[in-house]
Amino acid sequence: MHPMAAGGEHDEVTCVDFWANGFGMRVRIALHELGVGFRFVEEDLRVRERSELVLRMNPIHRSVPILIHLGRSICGSINILEYIDEVWGQRVSTRLLSRDPLERAHARFWADFVDHKVFSTQTMFLKSKGEEKEAAKAELLGQLKCLEGVLGDKNFFFGDEFGFLDIVLIPFSSMFRGYEQHGEFDLEVECPTLIQWEKRCKEMESVKHVLPNEEMMYELHKKWYGIE
Ligand SMILES: N[C@@H](CCC(=O)N[C@@H](CS)C(=O)NCC(=O)O)C(=O)O
């Protein structure tokens, strides 16, 4: 948590989310990172119907996470991260996104890659079998290696500070042990740079606070995707 906690007594912040939701972990990590106090309202995604709160606060997508600030909802994890950065990052002078426009554009580009490439490949990998699963595994490893290229020899994606893109990607690491079991490979061998980055991120208090138990994550995904 930031030494100067940003959430004042006049801020009413609620995060509606499910403990195993990687998109929502981003929001909770960002709030912890900037020292914003918040109320957590759990939306159980194992239940099919969405709560009245979710239907009211996110009628378009009916999904979580949802950030509720002073009674107004902000939806979509990337959008929420930018909102958190603009509202509270400003107050504590710790920005999640770089002040440099080019770095900001790159961070958003790779965040989009994580959401639209890595996430869908992960889904394909977990739900497929045989040749399709092997192809998805190769694609997933290729995408993770591509992210290793972005990381290069830096500690975090944009240098020495843990920031926006680290927050976007680190929740996926709670499935890394699941990937290894499901695909029978060792990520330390396949993507050593990414694993070193994962270890560095997991030293952050905000990350420690939010990332769930990895075995429980994989067990839940096994049920969701019908993995034997
Ligand atoms: N693009 C959205 C994705 C959020 C999302 O897809 N949430 C899913 C869980 S992974 C959800 O709430 N689904 C509602 C449901 O399953 O009924 C974000 O970044 O917040």
In the chain the domains, ranked by start, together with CATH numbers, are 13-92 (3.40.30.10), 101-225 (1.20.1050.10)
Tokens of 178: 């699941």
Q: Which atom of ligand 1 is nearest to the CA of 62?
A: 14
DSSP calls for 88-108: IIHHHT--SS-SSHHHHHHHH
The contacts of residue 22 (CB under 8 Å, 6+ apart) are 171, 172, 174, 175
Give the predicted TM-score (pTM) of the model. Answer: 0.95
Say how many Å lie between the CA of residue 95 and the centre of ligand 1: 25
Say what the pLDDT of residue 11 is.
76
Say what the pLDDT of residue 131 is.
97
pLDDT by residue for the chain (228 residues), tens digit each? 555 556 555 579 999 999 999 999 999 999 999 999 999 999 999 999 999 999 999 999 999 999 999 999 999 999 999 999 999 998 887 899 999 999 999 999 999 999 999 999 999 999 999 999 999 999 999 999 999 999 999 999 999 999 999 999 999 999 999 999 999 999 999 999 999 999 999 999 999 999 999 999 999 999 999 988
Q: DSSP 3-state assignment of 222?
A: helix
Tokens of 59: 């009628």
Q: Enter the DSSP assignment of 17.
A: E
Cβ(63) – ligand 1 distance below 6 Å: yes
Which position has the token pair 């990607």?
169
Q: How far apart are CA 216 and CA 136, in angstroms?
A: 23
Tokens of 148: 């290793």
Say what the pLDDT of residue 34 is.
96
Q: How far apart are CA 42 and CA 56, in angstroms?
A: 15
Comparing CA positions, the residue from 199, 195, 194, 197 lying closest to residue 148 is 194
Say what the pLDDT of residue 171 is.
98
Q: How far apart are CA 103 and CA 210, in angstroms?
A: 26
- With the most atoms of ligand 1 within 8 angstroms of its CB, the residue from 25, 28, 53, 63 to mutate is 63
Phi, psi at 141, each rounded to 5°: -65, -40
Comparing CA positions, the residue from 23, 19, 44 lying closest to residue 170 is 23
The one-letter amino acid code at 51 reads: S
Q: How far apart are CA 226 and CA 228, in angstroms?
A: 6
Helices (H), 152-175: 164-169
* Contact criterion met (CB below 8 Å) for 66 and 41: no
- With the most atoms of ligand 1 within 8 angstroms of its CB, the residue from 17, 18, 23 to mutate is 23
Tokens of 226: 């019908």
| CA-closest residue to ligand 1 atom 19 | 77
* Contact criterion met (CB below 8 Å) for 156 and 166: yes
Which position has the token pair 């990687």?
22
Cβ(122) – ligand 1 distance below 6 Å: no
